[in-house]
Structure 1
Amino acid sequence: MEKEVNQTLVTDFVMVGFTTHPVLRLVFFVLFLVSYTLTLTGNLGLMVLIYLDSHLHTPMYFFVGSLSFLDIWYSSVYTPRILSDCVSKNKVMSVAGCAAQFFFSAGLAYSECFLLAAMAYDRYVAICNPLRYAIAMSKKLCIQLVIASYVAGFVDAIVHTANTFRLRFCGDNTIDHYFCDVPPLVKMACDDTRVYELIMTSVMGCNVL
């Protein structure tokens, strides 16, 4: 039985995407291209504005600029692939490519959660300790909080990705989705996923805390 399963192990995935209708695929391509362009323009514009205007050189806007930078990379993990799938007939993605997309999307998503927590802490200090705000939220601390957000986010992503792709995938390699995500991948797993789910619950619980 084990030998039979090994013969059907998945080596690549086929992304179904949003639709197979050629006209709708073109419509989606235009919509996503416009949305992606606006996202890049808006976030880059905000970062440049914060950099050029000395009045915005405060902890709050430093975090806002950092969030804009993160959003640029986060949207770039998915959108180019989605745009490619809309105009290309080849929707195949290798397991390595899927793992890379999964890793960066998880790392940036986790990092954004930690960065938003740092921004909430910044607002807490500003409201509850306004007289000590300038000293408490020093430039050094702000940089450390941003770096810590990325480090914690990508450490979580390493755990998440390694735990997901240690599973063996077999059977139908079609993913009814537009990117590599946990539900469709776990659905294709040949192995028992109880340990996987326990580890993921532990990681998510630690993040929430």
Structure 2
Amino acid sequence: MSDSAGARRSKVARLVDEHDLAGVGDELEARWTATGDDHWSLRDLAAEFNRELVGERLQAAGLRPSDSEIETIVQWLTGAEVGAAERTQLRRRLEREGVDVDALDRDVVTYQAIRSYLRDYRGAEYERASGDRTETVADAIQKLRGRLSSVAETKLEQLRETSHLSLGEFHVMVDVGVYCTECDSRYGIVQLLDAGGCDCGETDR
């Protein structure tokens, strides 16, 4: 699916145009909407996009970085564990070569930006294949939510009818959240499964 001209401009779309990353949008969509082993998670797509972006920026500055160098820089920019000495060396080296490190730091993206680009800007949707393990887990949790909601509603109605509870017309809402103590991030269960993981190793941008 091609980019929608009328859609709200996204960070990823802007970067694709500004840095002439031709074909990257189609590639991201194809990998995300694929099924089975060909499917890429939003987190993997964000990492790949950042590698493409960093590689292009360094080449534009006249550098010829290796894949491992690009990976190290991406890890540094996205908050992965890189030693303080190595961070300082990377910044100094890039600045000597004429790379605007602060601008590059602002441009790397998170999986949330990739999700917004694919869903809201390109109108893409990922439909999980039948039997997908993640889908099976999501369905099981949704069924449990529905069961808990039904039981809670029945019990509340019984209490209200016996005058033990004063309550008008109501709806029972059951939310299942996940909190990761390592990266201090919170997700709804469906959001977490869709993203393919939490924010460990990432910083908000």
Q: Tell me the TM-score normalised to structure 2 length.
A: 0.26
Q: More helix by proportion, 1 or 2?
A: 1
